[in-house]
Amino acid sequence: MALRQIRQIGEDILRKKAKPVRAFDNSLHSLLEDMWDTLRAFDGLGLAAPQVGILRQIIIVEFEEEKYELINPKLIESSGAEEKIEACLSIPLKQGTVERPTYLKLEALDRHGDAFELEIEDNILTTALCHELDHLEGILFLDKATNIHDRPEEEHSGK
């Protein structure tokens, strides 16, 4: 597939609300494969479609060799709270502390349009999913972060 350009802080698309996906076709599948290639090339944990210039409700996350693709995701329930240091491929020079839930229940569609439910009780994965869900609303982690500071050079250089 192909690498997509990651949109950077200051680009308008990162502040817009993503629209639902309506077509579950080869174009969507190609976009998902491009997003996976891009995520891996930049050694990321998650990626939302607006970060590659596509204003659609699509997020991907890879954690502990498990791949998650969520199309038109909806948060059903969340609980708990834990602060974690977050960073973002769209904001490569900064990191900060964000409080996120430790439990999530989500509904979403897969790449074929089939509905599924996802319950997660892992603070790293829930943090990543919440971070990507925020991207679909035009929210960046800096909007919620405290203790914002520069990231060490080796952490934002990509592969």
3 state SS for the chain: CCCCCCCCCCCHHHHCCCECCCCCCHHHHHHHHHHHHHHHHCCCCEEEHHHHCCCECEEEEEECCEEEEEEEEEEEEEECCEEEEEEECCEEEEEEEEEECCEEEEEEECCCCCEEEEEECCHHHHHHHHHHHHHHCCCCHHHCCEEEEECCHHHCCCC
Q: Which residue in 99, 117, 132, 153 is the catalytic one?
A: 132
CA distances 56 to 17, 49, 95, 147, Å, are: 8, 6, 25, 31
- Has 137 been annotated as catalytic? no
pLDDT at 27 over 80: yes
Question: How many angstroms separate the CA atoms of 128 and 132, rounded?
Answer: 6
Question: How many angstroms separate the CA atoms of 84 and 87, rounded?
Answer: 10
Residue with tokens 């597939």: 1
Calculate mean pLDDT across residues 35-57: 97
At residue 151 the predicted structure's pLDDT band, cuts being 50, 70 and 90, is: confident
At residue 158 the predicted structure's pLDDT band, cuts being 50, 70 and 90, is: very low
Calculate mean pLDDT across residues 101-109: 97
At residue 4 the predicted structure's pLDDT band, cuts being 50, 70 and 90, is: very high
pLDDT at 157 over 80: no
- Answer yes or no: CATH 3.40.50.1110 is held by domain 12-155: no
pLDDT of residue 1: 65
Does this model's pTM top 0.75? My answer is yes
